[in-house]
């Protein structure tokens, strides 16, 4: 309405707050579980080298694009596109992101709940004396239980909602500034223990001595996909967070700092896990079992295992929480701004819907809905495939196309130079990557994910 002053937008209060929140979004279970698993499954150090190249060649330009859209549009993931390009249907890219955030939180919240169960088991020393087979059965029985996974999932959603409800500066920034340093301290303690185990050197060699003979098309695409997904791109998170960034903060530097923080945590997780895995003669490519079966088995065999097991699962829970906070914020920002409802109501409504869909995911993963299939996939598998393999690459692809060709050179330059106060010498390089290199990389990930492009 003309003449009405818009409400003052909540925003991050410090540079560290931006980095903590954005890195917290990127740092999740994927860094501590999936990254080591992907390294183990794709030849170790050679995969790591490719991953690092793709993070900065693909990941950073996409993150810069998302942050620029958010800060320029000054709204949520859908509203920012509407503000920048009001007469074209680019807002549908935001719809993709918000849809992906809903789906990912639904099944991710379930895994996050598992971390609370395993903290509980660590506290009561529930892993003591169990063989690997017994630990595997313990995990399977827990997942199939009709009540316990749902209980922990609900607790995790409530924890997430309580942070988001408090707002950007007094909620998200305040708590991620505490959680991220805690996460780093825990992982460093675990590293000290892991690298001092007898035989730990083999794990470090596996991680840091590249065998480039292992590289093939499949490994390249896996590294490219992991670099894209690990930075929390394509789901509207960085657009939403970008809208909370002050106009005098350097977006390019912020994107690099967040990418470095995310990558460092992923590599540190590998240093914490692989020496222990090799010290006890474990196969390093065990998937989710690496975390919930193999790791408890390793900890109970080492001196101080009770303490380190508890620390490890607290680490997982903290990493999961920093990610679910950002997922929920994407959704809450949209509902509160587009439908003009309070943050509290938007958080409650969103959390209820997410918990309902999440409960269906949980019950389909070994529970009473395990035999219910859609297109051959259970509910969990369907949401995971749709979000991770279809919506995120599509969202990321259209984001860089929008910034590269439709947002307008003047708007992009204004955001990347802070209205001319920064020199922006690397803008031509960034724009070349955004226009030509990144779309090709994301297209390859997408085609590989849906099975149209396969390399041996």
Q: Cα 352 from chain centroid?
A: 22
- 238 near 232, Cβ under 8 Å? yes
Q: Which of 14, 73, 80, 16 is nearest to 246 (CA)?
A: 14
- pLDDT tens-digit profile of 412-437? 999 999 998 998 888 999 999 999 99
Q: Is the pLDDT of residue 366 over 90?
A: no
Query: What is the rounded distance in angstroms from the CA atom of residue 315 to the CA atom of residue 329?
Result: 22
Domain boundaries along the sequence of the chain: 15-449
Position 131 confidence tier, pLDDT thresholds 50, 70, 90: confident
Report the C-alpha gap between 90 and 93 in whole angstroms: 6
pLDDT for residue 7? 52
**Which has the higher per-residue pLDDT, 282 or 261?**
261
Contact (Cβ atoms closer than 8 angstroms) between residue 445 and residue 57: no
Give pTM, 2 decimals. 0.93
Is the confidence at residue 152, as pLDDT, over 60? yes
Q: What per-residue confidence (pLDDT) applies to 264?
A: 92
How buried is residue 15: exposed, middle or buried, by Cβ count under 10 Å (0-12/13-18/19+)? middle
Instruction: Report CA 268 to chain centroid distance, whole Å.
Output: 16
Q: What is the pLDDT of residue 284?
A: 63
Mean pLDDT of the chain: 90
| Of residues 400, 425, 86, the one with CA closest to residue 416 | 425
Banded pLDDT at 289 (limits 50, 70, 90): low
Q: Which residue has the tokens 């330009």?
A: 61
Tell me the CB-side half-sphere exposure of residue 424, using CA atoms within 13 A. 19
* Cα–Cα distance measured from residue 252 to residue 304, given in angstroms and rounded to the nearest whole number: 43
pLDDT digits (tens, 9 = 90+) for 266-282: 899 889 888 888 888 77
> What pLDDT is attached to residue 5?
37
Please state the rounded mean pLDDT for residues 247-264: 94
Assess contact for 53 and 61: CB atoms under 8 A.
Answer: no
Range list of H helices, 124-173: 132-144, 148-165
Note the pLDDT of residue 297.
82
Q: Report the distance separating Cα 315 and Cα 92, nearest Å.
A: 36
CA distance 329 to 346: 10
User: Mean pLDDT, to the nearest integer, of 317-329?
Assistant: 96
Answer yes or no: is pLDDT of 241 > 50.
yes
Of the chain, the percentage scoring pLDDT greater than 70 comes to 96
Q: Which comes out higher in pLDDT, residue 364 or 232? A: 364
For residue 91, the model assigns a pLDDT of 97
Pick the CATH number of 15-449 from 2.40.10.10, 1.20.1740.10, 2.40.160.10, 2.40.50.1040: 1.20.1740.10
Q: How many residues does the chain have?
A: 456
Distance CA 440, CA 227 (A): 14
Residue 215 DSSP one-character state? -
Tens of pLDDT, residues 163-216:
999 999 999 999 999 999 999 999 999 999 889 988 889 989 988 888 888 888
pLDDT tens per residue across span 27-71: 888 787 778 778 877 888 889 999 999 999 999 999 999 999 999
Check pLDDT > 60 for residue 287.
Answer: no
């Amino acid at each position: 309405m003309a003449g009405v002053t818009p409400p003052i937008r909540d925003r991050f209060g410090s540079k560290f707050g931006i980095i903590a929140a954005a890195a917290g979004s990127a740092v999740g279970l994927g860094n501590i579980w999936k990254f080591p698993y992907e390294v183990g499954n794709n030849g170790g150090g050679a995969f790591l080298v490719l991953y690092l190249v793709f993070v900065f060649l693909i990941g950073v330009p996409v993150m810069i694009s998302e942050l620029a859209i958010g800060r320029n549009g000054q709204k949520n993931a859908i509203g920012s596109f509407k503000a920048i390009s009001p007469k074209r249907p680019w807002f549908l890219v935001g719809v993709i992101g918000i849809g992906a955030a809903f789906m990912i939180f639904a099944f991710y919240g379930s895994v996050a709940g598992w971390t609370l169960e395993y903290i509980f088991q660590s506290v009561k020393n529930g892993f003591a004396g169990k063989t690997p087979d017994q630990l595997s059965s313990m995990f399977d029985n827990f997942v199939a239980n009709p009540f316990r996974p749902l209980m922990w999932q609900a607790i995790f959603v409530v924890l997430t909602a309580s942070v988001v409800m408090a707002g950007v500066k007094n909620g998200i920034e305040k708590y991620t500034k505490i959680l991220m340093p805690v996460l780093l301290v825990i992982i460093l303690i675990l590293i000290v223990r892991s690298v001092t185990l007898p035989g730990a050197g083999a794990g470090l060699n596996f991680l840091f001595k590249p065998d480039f003979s292992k590289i093939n098309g499949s490994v390249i695409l896996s590294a490219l996909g992991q670099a894209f997904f690990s930075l929390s791109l394509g789901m509207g998170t960085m657009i939403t967070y970008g809208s909370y960034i002050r106009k005098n903060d350097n977006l390019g530097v912020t994107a690099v700092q967040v990418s470095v923080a995310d990558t460092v945590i992923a590599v540190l997780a590998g240093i914490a896990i692989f020496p222990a895995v090799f010290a006890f003669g474990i196969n390093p490519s065990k998937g989710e079992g690496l975390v919930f079966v193999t790791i408890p088995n390793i900890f109970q065999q080492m001196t101080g295992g009770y303490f380190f097991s508890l620390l490890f699962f607290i680490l997982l829970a903290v990493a999961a929480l920093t990610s679910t906070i950002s997922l929920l914020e994407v959704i809450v920002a949209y509902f509160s701004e587009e439908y003009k409802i309070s943050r509290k109501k938007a958080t409650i409504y969103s959390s209820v819907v997410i918990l309902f869909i999440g409960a269906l995911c949980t019950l389909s993963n070994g529970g009473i809905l395990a035999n219910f299939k859609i297109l051959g996939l259970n509910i969990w598998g369907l949401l995971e495939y749709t979000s991770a393999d279809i919506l995120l690459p599509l969202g990321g692809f259209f984001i860089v196309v929008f910034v590269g060709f439709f947002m307008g050179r003047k708007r992009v330059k204004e955001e990347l130079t802070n209205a001319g106060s920064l020199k922006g010498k690397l803008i031509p390089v960034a724009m070349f990557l955004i226009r030509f290199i990144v779309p090709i990389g994301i297209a390859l990930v997408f085609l590989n994910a849906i099975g149209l492009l396969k390399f041996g």
